[in-house]
Chains A and B, each alone.
Chain A
Amino acid sequence: MLYSEKVMDHFRNPRNVGKLDNADGVGEVGNAKCGDIMKIFLKIEEGIITDVKFNTFGCGSAIAASSMATEMIKGRSVEDALTLSNRAVVEALDGLPPHKIHCSVLAEEAVRAAVKDYYDKNGIAYNPKLFKNAHECEHCHL
Chain B
Amino acid sequence: MRVYADHAATTAVHPQVIEAMLPYFRTHSGNPSSLHTAGQEAASVLADARARIAKCLNAARPEEIYFTSGGSEADNQAILSAAELGAKKDKKHIISTKFEHHAVLHTLNKLEKAGFEITLLDVPPNGVIRPEQVAEAIRPDTALVSVMFANNEIGTVQPIAEIGAVCRERGVLFHTDAVQAVGHLEVDVQAMNIDLLSLSAHKFHGPKGVGALYARRSIRLQSLIEGGAQERGKRAGTENIPGIVGMATALEWACAHREEHAAQLRVLRDKLISALSAIPHSVLNGDPDARLPGNVHFCFEGIEGESLLLLLDDAGVEASSGSACTSGSLDPSHVLLALGRPHEVAHGSLRLTLGYETTEEEVDHIIRTVPGIVAYLRSISPVWDALEKGERPYILA
Contacts and interface: CB of A to CB of B under 8 A. Distances in A.
B171 to A, nearest CB: 39
A interface secondary structure, majority: mixed
Given A60-B307, A99-B330, A140-B331, A55 B382 contact: yes
Interface stretch (A32-40, A87-95, A118-126): A32-40
B302 interface: yes
Given A11-B307, A59-B304, A99-B328, A33 B344 contact: yes
B330 A55 contact: no
B347 interface: yes
A98 B325 CA distance: 12
Interface residues of A, number: 32
B384 interface: yes
Nearest to B392: A32
Given A32-B344, A63-B380, A139-B330, A55 B385 contact: yes
Contacts of A35: 304, 323-325, 330, 332, 343, 347
A6 interface: no
A124 to B, nearest CB: 25
Interface residues of B, number: 27
A33 B392 CA distance: 13
Interface of A: 8, 11-12, 14, 17-19, 28, 32-39, 55-63, 99-100, 102, 139-142
26 contacts: A11-B307, A11-B310, A17-B380, A33-B343, A35-B324, A35-B325, A37-B382, A39-B382, A55-B381, A56-B381, A56-B382, A57-B302, A57-B304, A57-B381, A57-B382, A57-B384, A58-B325, A59-B304, A59-B305, A61-B325, A62-B307, A99-B328, A99-B329, A102-B330, A141-B330, A141-B331
Given A19-B385, A58-B325, A140-B331, 20 more contacts: A8-B310, A11-B310, A32-B343, A32-B347, A32-B383, A33-B342, A34-B330, A35-B304, A56-B380, A56-B382, A57-B302, A57-B303, A57-B381, A59-B325, A60-B325, A61-B325, A62-B304, A63-B380, A99-B330, A100-B325
Interface of B: 302-307, 310-311, 314, 323-325, 328-332, 342-344, 347, 380-385
